[in-house]
Structure 1
Amino acid sequence: MIYKLGAAIAGLFIAAAVPAAAASAAPVKPDLQFAHVTLTPTDGKQQIVDFWAYEQSYTLHDVTAVIDTSKVPAGVTASLWFPDVETSCKDAGTTITCKFDALPSDEGMALIGFVNYQSKDAKVGAEGTASVKVTSRELGTITRSTKVTVAEGVDLAVDDTLQDITVKPGATVQVPLGVRNNGATAITGVDVFFFIDPWYGMAKHYSNCLYGASAGYCHFDTVLKAHTSYALSEDMGVKIRADVPAPSTIGQTFDWLTPNDNSDNIDLVNGQKPKRGTDGTLSLKAKPAALAKSLPQTDTSLGIDHQDALFEVTGTQNGDVAAVGAEVEGATGATVTAKVGVKNLGPAFEFGFPKAAAKVTVTAPAGTTVVSVPEGCVKSGSAYACTTTVSPLNVNASVTWPFKLRIDRPGTLTGSVVVASFQPDVTRGNDTAKLVVNPPAGAHNGAGDHGGQGGGGLPITGAPAAWIGGAGVLLLGGGASAYIISRRKRARFVA
């Protein structure tokens, strides 16, 4: 399996590594996608309107979306794409209205519809806007606006699309990158966009690049001459984490785009309070004369011009998921809270993508009733299945879920916490811990093993005390198929 986290995903499990404090599992709310549009004077471009939350299952109800295209540039028209298929949407002049009693997600995407922008002799450089307003029972009212720009067409390309590099944990990899102007029109500046995944970091941070929490981009003022290839002034350094699981295959994608086509990615990075680098300037190996005038530009070739680097991580190291049990005390009839879950003892972090880092099965003690099921957990037979959403689950990090239990009878009552990982586990003997209600006096050492390491009991929870274990979106260019391809591509590598 190849591990390539991410998308647009912007931000779904990729944002920040889990801190040493315990985390609770909470569902990710879907984000309304409404990308910027850049098209040529005689071309068309399709825009998707959807909700997106990677690999999250959700359904929105009583959904109404109103798309206003009255302020697009002169010479540009906008209409519903696939009107015979999207029967939930209706065109009325410069307004598209879509209504859904229920809008379910499919692999994280809940599609509202496609907007088809067409230009007929519009003026290059003309700009306008479009907007969408969506209401739903679950999310209330959300609005988005987007720029619509008329640009001259250019043709970006890359020569080498895939590199396979063998590395060791903790190594810094040098990735050669370059771009080509495949057309006859000079390209007045270019960007390279990349995600910053939790399994590695950028070795250098350049002054012409902005780096956010999970994504970054570099801008090059170089004028790309027609039919000419360019390379970076130095290879892009990627530092692999020393605690990466091994063997594994992880990877990085670098997208080459015109600054106009990079608009949505720029918004993504700017929304993460990015920092500009201080390690000098990264440039392209070319020094053509500057053009007298710079116009908006858009890449008219199909798909995204990207370069992938696969890092084959050698060696043997894995994470060690351990069950986190609990002991609670209370009188018969009382309700107590037991925080149970999973801890990663290392020495490697646990990938949380494309599958969860761990699944925890919680069986409440006989003689108790679960009166409150925490978010991230569902009933599974006579037990409850809880799934982590953090990615990665770092070494010494925990995820716990607070179960509220009503004590229905006196005496010591014992349940269990069992953890399973979707990756190799260093030690299987610590995958089970106890969930004990009212342990015998002086016996507070058997409910769990404080993260599976044994020795010493867990502190009492409930009334006496509380314990928590240590712990973009790309524009559719060239049709729906191109959008889906780019969407899936941006679910970045992981193995």
Structure 2
Amino acid sequence: MQPFGIGKSLAIEGLISWKTPSVARVPTEVLPMPMPPHNRRASRAAVAVLGAAGLIALVAAPAAFGDEAAPELVIGGLEPIDGVKPGSSFDLPVTVANKGTGAAEKVWVSYSVTRGLDFAEVPSNCRAQQVPSYDEMPERWIAVCAFDQVMEPGVVYTPEKPLRVRALARALNDELRVRVGDVDPGADENGTAPVAGTAPAVKLVEGPAGGEGSARFVDVPVISVNTADYQVTGAELKGRVGETVTMKVKFTNAGPAWVLTKEGERLVKVMITPPAGTSVVKPHGFCEVEGDAYACGTSQRSVNEGGQETYTFQLKIDKRVADAKGSVALSTEARPFDPNKANDKADITLDVAGGGTSGSTGSPTTGSDGSTGGSSTGDDGTTTNGGTLAETGSSTLPIAGVAAAVLVTGAGTLLIVRGRRAQSLS
């Protein structure tokens, strides 16, 4: 996932319009006379000298822009925050410094927190908005505070009252980002309309020297003391040999905390093993073969409290296997936040009516439309165009009875033909 950001509307700063310096015209009365053909080399040398002089002037011209005084704002004063209890609050001791050569006429400080955190109060010189999850970025709150005051170079400032953040009941592994700039970052177009705060306005005051940062933004992890219960739910399947049945198993985060997996860490996988005697006609979209099972992922790197994933498979019953069972289980990586391991695995049972086999115990050949072995599977998981007669309430006639019926019918037809022939001859 891309680094967590405050929004899409970060300003592009520092663009300079470059202009080619003009070259003075030489008076016509001092222009040299046309040179004879044998002295063209001297003319070319003169043109080269003039071209070089123009190039030197072009390169030297931007130096004047570089000498112009400009602010360079940086954030500091923040360290990782650990041991936070849900329901408690903490302050953000932010420092803002100007490391540039010119003053900043106005300053904006932006705070962004993921969904396990919230702002306890928002000053009236700040605006806040809620941004839902998008582009693999988790849901978050953003507060942008405007300080309409000059920030001098070489001075460290701090808000006269630090912004206060509250840990919610779902807090666990959250992220905080603080950014500073001398341009309004604007609102995130995917979020709610920004709303001005109602707490008293704050201003920046000069702070003690030292402690200034070195970057325009800082990311800070916020770890809360909380748990989340990952669990899985199995399935009970029924059908006849040759049928295709729908299997649905679930992964759930029963909370109370939401879980945000950090970049670079392994996401939880749900391992699904179908019951013996079946073959997979169509797996779930988030799943791929891993050994004898299917490894299934999650749609986001975060799992909200109460959130769940349902994995739907189409299974063909190839043969009846006594006491056939499959399973759904969580992958085995460490999850310190989830102490309850009793619900990390569940059974998938299969009750097969009748007996025998469907003629194939291996994996079926799957067409581009999901059809297998001459039959196709509908969206509701039933088999059409080749399904068993039991689905329509019909029964299969014994082969011997069918053959006898054919013979009797054939004999009757033969007698009728012979009778008609005798009548025609008489």
Scaled by the length of structure 2, what TM-score is found? 0.59
- The alpha-carbon distance between structure 1 residues 210 and 241, as it changes in their structure 2 partners (threshold 3 A), is closer
Which of 276, 279, 282 aligns to 1:372? It is: 282
- Contact 2:113 2:177 (C-alpha < 8 Å) held by counterparts: no
Matched, 1:390 2:300: yes
Sequence identity percentage: 23
Which of 344, 347, 362 aligns to 1:434? It is: 347
Q: Which secondary structure does the structure 2 equivalent of 1:185 belong to? A: coil
Q: CA RMSD in A?
A: 3.9
Matched, 1:285 2:204: yes
Matched, 1:273 2:192: yes
* 1:38-437 to 2 correspondences below 5 Å: 38-39=13-14, 41=16, 73=17, 75=19, 121=62, 153-162=70-79, 164=81, 166-207=83-124, 208-213=126-131, 214=140, 216=142, 217-245=144-172, 250-259=174-183, 262=185, 266=186, 269-280=188-199, 282-286=201-205, 304-307=215-218, 309=220, 311=222, 313-314=224-225, 317-354=226-263, 355=265, 358-410=268-320, 413-420=324-331, 422-424=334-336, 425-437=338-350
- The alpha-carbon distance between structure 1 residues 368 and 174, as it changes in their structure 2 partners (threshold 3 A), is same
Alignment partners' CA distance in 1, 2:170 and 2:9: 37
- 1:363, CA displacement in angstroms? 0.4
- The alpha-carbon distance between structure 1 residues 422 and 342, as it changes in their structure 2 partners (threshold 3 A), is farther
- Contact 2:243 2:316 (C-alpha < 8 Å) held by counterparts: yes
- Contact 1:356 1:388 (C-alpha < 8 Å) held by counterparts: no
Alignment partners' CA distance in 2, 1:157 and 1:186: 13
- 1:381, CA displacement in angstroms? 0.9
Alignment partners' CA distance in 1, 2:119 and 2:9: 29
1:7 aligned residue: 3
- 1:123, CA displacement in angstroms? 11
- Aligned residues between the structures: 299
Q: Which of these two proteins has the greater Rg computed from alpha carbons?
A: 2
- Contact 1:327 1:439 (C-alpha < 8 Å) held by counterparts: no
- The alpha-carbon distance between structure 1 residues 273 and 384, as it changes in their structure 2 partners (threshold 3 A), is same
Alignment partners' CA distance in 2, 1:431 and 1:218: 45
Higher RCO (C-alpha under 8 Å, 6+ residues apart): 1
Gaps spanning 5+ residues in structure 1: where?
12-32, 42-72, 77-117, 125-150, 288-300, 442-460, 464-495
Q: Determine which structure has the larger helix proportion and give its number.
A: 2
Matched to 1:223, the amino acid is: V
- 1:160, CA displacement in angstroms? 2.3
- Contact 1:357 1:422 (C-alpha < 8 Å) held by counterparts: no
2:364 aligned residue: none
- The alpha-carbon distance between structure 1 residues 337 and 311, as it changes in their structure 2 partners (threshold 3 A), is same
Alignment partners' CA distance in 2, 1:9 and 1:400: 30
Q: Determine which structure has the larger strand proportion and give its number.
A: 1
Alignment partners' CA distance in 2, 1:366 and 1:121: 75
Gaps spanning 5+ residues in structure 2: where?
21-58, 132-139, 207-211, 355-379, 383-426
- 1:309, CA displacement in angstroms? 4.9
- 1:380, CA displacement in angstroms? 0.1
Scaled by the length of structure 1, what TM-score is found? 0.51
- 1:361, CA displacement in angstroms? 0.4
